[in-house]
Structure 1
Amino acid sequence: MKILRGIEMAVIGYARVSTEEQNLDLQIDALKAAGCDRIFEDHGISAIVKKRSGFERAMKALKNGDTFVIWKLDRAFRSLHHALDMLEMFELRQIAFRSLTNQIDTTTPEGKFMYHIRFAFAELERNLISERTRAGMMAAKKRGKHVGRPYALSIEQIAAIRKKLCSDPKMTVRAVSEEMGVCMHTLYRALRRTG
């Protein structure tokens, strides 16, 4: 807790990891060392998710004049646009912002400038990765490789299903799908895929 002009100002921290396997300890230790009075967490939640309960609680806890601290920019913000919107809101409410690993402190002009520059580069990097991933998937498709989840039914299973449907006129697609443990849509897609 810092005191400015006789008023207590809180230092609020926020930590997030994307998967259940990841650990928050590194971020929490850094936030505690930075003097955070309270730390809010989101565990196993992607940054692109709009509703993050820990992030929302941190935003509600912030009062005018407080400081919001994160370990790294991508832990809190979904995109450059989101980050800039939040910075504007922080400025309006006179909330200081610090990103520890990015060494950004918006109480200084240099810190504000670095905030904009670093986030622009972070978004560029995400877009380039996404573009390379799409290009790789297109190249794999052109080579005839299946892209995405594995098929629910193998070629052999589909052949057995066709044989069963053709040999027994009373056999329905519903009955076969229940027997195979797949939904009817999956079965129809598999039959269409194999001609």
Structure 2
Amino acid sequence: EDIMNIGYIRVSTDQQGNSVISQKEIISSYSKLKGIEIDDYFVDFGISGKNTIKREKYLELMELVKSGKVTTIITTSLSRWSRNTLDLLKSVEVLKKHKVSFEVIKEQVSLNSPMGEFFVSILGSIYTLERQLISERTKDVIKNKKMNGKVYSRTPYGYESKDGMLIENPLEQRVLRKIKRLRTKGDSYNSISKFLNRNKYTTKMGKKFTKENVYSLLKTERKNINLSSVNG
């Protein structure tokens, strides 16, 4: 089989629309500048950079690497690839073993030299520390809000926060019911997103819906919302 050049993209749940497009455009422009033709893009949606265990496309890509079917991997930032130093170093060893060229656009590092490998490991440690510090600060905020009986998670679609309390948003609840009905009828995520955009509905961030947004909304069931954080 042909050996492939791959663009790898990872996006968090609340950035799925624009982030996929922007990362793909950056990788495409970079690859053209380098004279590399991208054969495929591997995209992980709504997945943390903390570890690679749950990243379906990442794992699929690494299997292709091990089978000798990948020659180049390009990603926009090292933090998109991994925010865990141990996972990063393990993946670097696999890429080196199979002679895969690993290009990181933002940090301008590659594995083609000992110095490049050194910088990758240093940056990986920095991103891991950054993630851990953010996690600690988030836990402190959540703990404080729990103690005060307030909503302590990002307000999900279909709800709004009022005085720190979670209440239903009537319009968004109607949209959610419509999405579920369309999906039950067999409509694809893409066709549902197009329907929502035609009817001028927007995401929580006021942006157009994408098929990834629709998938995420359906995946997030109401039972997962921590209503215990709402008084009354």
TM-score range, shorter chain: 0.5 to 0.7
Amino acid at match of 1:118: L
Q: 2:62 aligns with which of 52, 59, 63?
A: 59
Alignment of 1:31-70 (within 5 A): 31-32=27-28, 33-34=30-31, 35-48=36-49, 50-62=53-65, 63=68, 66-70=71-75
Rate the CA distance shift 1:18–1:151 in 2: closer, same or farther, 3 A.
closer
TM-superposed deviation, 1:117: 0.8
2:30 equivalent to 1:25:
no
What corresponds to 1:4 in structure 2?
Answer: none
Amino acid at match of 1:31: I
Provide, for residues 131-157 of structure 1, a one-character-per-residue CA deviation record: whole Å limited to 9, x for no partner: 112222334455x343536578xxxxx
TM-superposed deviation, 1:103: 0.8
Rate the CA distance shift 1:50–1:36 in 2: closer, same or farther, 3 A.
farther
TM-superposed deviation, 1:94: 2.0
2:64, 2:70 within 8 Å by CA — same for their partners in 1? no
2:133 equivalent to 1:128:
yes
1:40, 1:54 within 8 Å by CA — same for their partners in 2? no
2:10 equivalent to 1:16:
yes
Deviates more, 1:20-29 or 1:57-66: 57-66
Larger radius of gyration: 1
Q: What is the aligned-residue identity percentage?
A: 23
What corresponds to 1:93 in structure 2?
Answer: 98
In 2, the alpha carbon distance for the partners of 1:88 and 1:121 equals 19
Provide, for residues 70-125 of structure 1, a one-character-per-residue CA deviation record: whole Å limited to 9, x for no partner: 11112222511111110111122222211111111110122111101111111111
2:164 equivalent to 1:146:
no
Rate the CA distance shift 1:43–1:66 in 2: closer, same or farther, 3 A.
closer
Instruction: Provide TM-score, normalisation by structure 1.
Output: 0.63
In 1, the alpha carbon distance for the partners of 2:125 and 2:3 equals 30
Runs of 4+ in 1 over 6 A off after TM superposition: none
1:28, 1:39 within 8 Å by CA — same for their partners in 2? no
Amino acid at match of 1:115: V
CA RMSD of aligned residues (A): 3.3
| Secondary structure of 2:19's aligned partner | coil
Unmatched 5+ stretches in structure 2: 154-164, 168-221
Count of residues in correspondence between the two structures = 152
In 2, the alpha carbon distance for the partners of 1:52 and 1:39 equals 17
Instruction: Kindly indicate whether structure 1 or structure 2 has the higher relative contact order, using CA contacts under 8 Å at least 6 residues apart.
Output: 2
What corresponds to 1:106 in structure 2?
Answer: 111
